[in-house]
Structures are given as C-alpha cells and as structure tokens.
Amino acid sequence: MAPEWCRLTAMDENSALSRLRALQIETPSWGYGNSGTRFHVYPWPGAARTVQERIADAALVHRLTGCCPTVALHIPWDAVDDYPALKRYAEEHGVGIGAINPNLFGSDEYRLGSICHPDADVRARAVEHCRECIQIAEQVGSPVISLWLADGTNYPGQDDLRDRHARLLEGLQEVYASLPAGMRLLVEYKFFEPGFYSTDLPDWGTAALACRRLGSQAQVLVDTGHHPQGTNVEQIVAVLLAEELLGGFHFNNRKYADDDLIVGSIDPFELFRIMREIARGDTGDVAFMIDQSHNIEGKIDAMIQSVINIQTAYAKALLVDEARLAGAQAEGDVLGAHRIVLAAFETDVRPLLARLRRELGVDEDPVGAFRAGGFAEALAHERGTASVESAYERL
Ligand code: PSV
Ligand code: MN
C-alpha cells in the first residue's frame, strides 16, 4: 500500500478526470506523410499522400483517442482550391481544421529569409502569404495562425541584425493588422536552424517582446524542441502564463536538437514538469498541438503514443498535492516539497486514464486498438508505399 503522503483520494480522482476530459490535443497534418532526415526518407507503407489522407489519419487518431478533434494544416503543403469543401471533408470524418501554418521557408525566394529578407519585394510576398493563410483560416473556421520563421543568417556580417529586427516587427505588424477579431497569431521561436549564426526569432523573450508590441491577439508558441540543452522549459511556460502570453505548444521531444521525437519519449519528467504549470490552472486559451515528424516508425501509432504521453504527464501533474506543497514551500522544507512533486510523478495513472477512456468511449489502450484493428494493413493495401525521390521532398 502506498504511504499516506502519496495516496489519492476519490476527490483527487474525480477532479483530475474532469480536467483530463477537457484536454484536447491537435495533431499536425505533416506528421502523417512521409518525412525524413537530410540523409534519407524511408517511405512508410500506407503513409498519407494527400491532404485528404492526412485529415483522414488525424480523424482516425481522434476516433481511437477521443481527444484530438482538430488537425493543423501547413500551407502550401496542404493547399487546395476549395477550402469550404476541405472543411466539409474534415467534418464528415469527425474532425475540424485547427491552426493554419503559413510556410515561409519552402520556396527559392526565401534563401535569405522571408519577412526579414533584405529585399522588400520578398518581404511583401511573405506578408501576402500570411494574409492568404488568414483568409484560409476564416474559410475553414480556424481561430489560430501559427507562424514560424526560418529567417536568420549564417555568417557575421551577412546582414544587419538591427535592420532584420526592424523588418521582423514591421512584417509581423502588417500580418497582425489583417487578423479578424477572435483570431490569434501564435509566434513560434527557435534558437537555431536553418540559420546557424543568428535566428530572427531565437527565443521566447524576443517572441514575447514582439507579441507585446502587436497586441492581445498575438501570443507566444512554445515548441518544446526549440531550446538549447538544459533550458528550463517549464519556467518559460510559467512566466508566459503569468504574463498572459502563452498561446500554445508544439509538443515533441528532443535529445540533441529539434529532433521531433515522440513527445515524452526521451524525458517524461520534463513533460510532467511542463504539464504541471498547466495543471495549476488559469491557462486561458492555450492550444495543445503536436509538431512531430516520424521518420523511421509508423506515423499513426506514433501520434497516438504521443497523445497518450501528454495525457499521462497531465494526469500525474494534476495529482500534485498543491495544499501540502504550499505548506512545505512556506516552511522552507526543500526536500519535503520536492518529494510531494515526485510522489505525483511516480503515481501509476494508468487506471485513471483507463477510466477516462472508458468514459470517452474509446479503448483503454488506443495504440493496442490501432495495432489490433488492422488499420495499418488496410492503409498499406489501399495507399501502397510511395516512392520518395529525395529527402527534401517532404510531403
Ligand atoms: C520548425 O522546426 C517547426 O517547428 C515549425 O513549427 C514548422 O512549422 C514545423 O516545424 C514543420 O516544419
Ligand atoms: Mn514547431
């Protein structure tokens, strides 16, 4: 029997369950197609080839988990002629369209950047692409634009850092001015890649400064893979929440860099610590999105596992005995406080999640249900194995 200090009460369980029921996770269209490293793409049998197939796979993940009702799109990877028809297609499959991600890196003209590019014509076209994405978002009923810039430089002297910052703010302001009421602009930062000397939005502080200038419809997007080793990501989350600047997450896990691994696979304790900041409440409108590319494993069960890992971390985080923790903190009981947090992390939440899934009407083991259900085989039969010519042909 667990000692008194880490035992759950029925009350803990019921309130944790209602919070867990409210957790909705968005999956990315680009996680369902073939992707690879710059060395090779290993095509996966049955991987989605079109935006419709990517939406259908996201819908399957929702059917099996009961908690992934929206799918994020990347434009132009997911571009179509008829967006209202795409919206209907998604709804017929049981999902809605979530964040629209303008792609400001997949075109030759972006070699030196997009909205920070030295050439005003390229900057204008980049802003125009963002405006087009806002219109798409309106047509599909999405309330979120997620913006990541690949802008940066590789060499000292390549461009003027202050000029680039000025262009960044000007471009973001132009995009922001086109947002309709109720639509949010989530600004994502990344400390490196593809620029290795400088990145125009390198960290949460720069993103937060930009959002403050823009207004309340702009908030920061924290991609968990976009930090240097050792960064205290949960502290970033805590500060952004306190400043009402946390817009959402791109969940994934990293070992060395932006590895896009299954979230929680490398460091489940970090994911728990991040979700603890969410579990403490007052999170507003935070968007919980996954941003992963599965290169050597199946796409759909890896996505389901990611969803399970987020739910597991959140369930544990909800079980932190906050009242006792506050007491230990006030008394300066350093180890006692730490042990209260650890006790929650070490709790086996599988029975709690099984109860949640029974209530959601899905299998207690959604990955097992996917694997036993013959879905992978049926998709491989229907779609075959794509021939992928180059590692750069991502979708
Ligand atoms: C960039 O590394 C990123 O995290 C951005 O969110 C992109 O939109 C996404 O990955 C897909 O390349
Ligand atoms: Mn991302």
Tokens of 278: 């969410």
User: Rounded to whole angstroms, how far apart are CA atoms 319 and 125?
Assistant: 49
pLDDT of 394 higher than 60: no
Q: CB of 316 within 8 A of CB of 353?
A: no
pLDDT tens digits, 103-119: 999 999 999 999 999 99
Confidence of residue 392 (pLDDT cuts 50, 70, 90): very low
Q: What percent of the chain shows pLDDT beyond 70?
A: 95
CA atoms within 13 A on the CB side of 374: 3
78 in contact with ligand 1, CB cutoff 6 A? no
Q: What percent of the chain shows pLDDT beyond 90?
A: 93
Tokens of 347: 């709790």
What dihedral angle (degrees, nearest 10) is formed by the CA atoms of 290, 291, 295, 298?
Answer: 20
> Distance from the CA of 312 to the center of ligand 2, in angstroms?
22
pLDDT of 4 higher than 70: no
Report which of residues 4 and 249 the model is more confident about: 249
Residue with structure tokens 């979708």? 395
250 in contact with ligand 1, CB cutoff 6 A? yes
> Distance from the CA of 309 to the center of ligand 2, in angstroms?
18
DSSP for 271-313, written as a single string: HHHHHHHHHTS--TT-EEEE----SSS-HHHHHHHHHHHHHHH
How confident is the model at residue 387, as a pLDDT? 78
Q: Which ligand is nearest to the CA of 147?
A: 1
148 in contact with ligand 1, CB cutoff 6 A? yes
270 in contact with ligand 1, CB cutoff 6 A? no
Assign a CATH topology to domain 17-320. Answer: TIM Barrel (3.20.20)
pLDDT of 393 higher than 70: no
pLDDT tens digits, 44-85: 999 999 999 999 999 999 999 999 999 999 999 999 999 999
pLDDT tens digits, 157-198: 999 999 999 999 999 999 999 999 999 999 999 999 999 999
Atom of ligand 1 nearest to the CA of 74: 8
pLDDT of 391 higher than 50: no
What does the longest C-alpha to C-alpha distance in the chain come to?
Answer: 68
Report which of residues 172 and 284 the model is more confident about: 172
Report which of residues 314 and 282 the model is more confident about: 314
Give the pTM.
0.96
Q: Which residues of 58-78 are buried (b: 16+ CB within 10 A; e: fewer)?
A: bbbbbbbbbbbbbbbbbbebb
pLDDT of 3 higher than 80: no
Q: What are phi and psi of 319, to 5 degrees?
A: -90, 0
Helix, coil or strand: residue 7: coil
pLDDT of 5 higher than 60: no
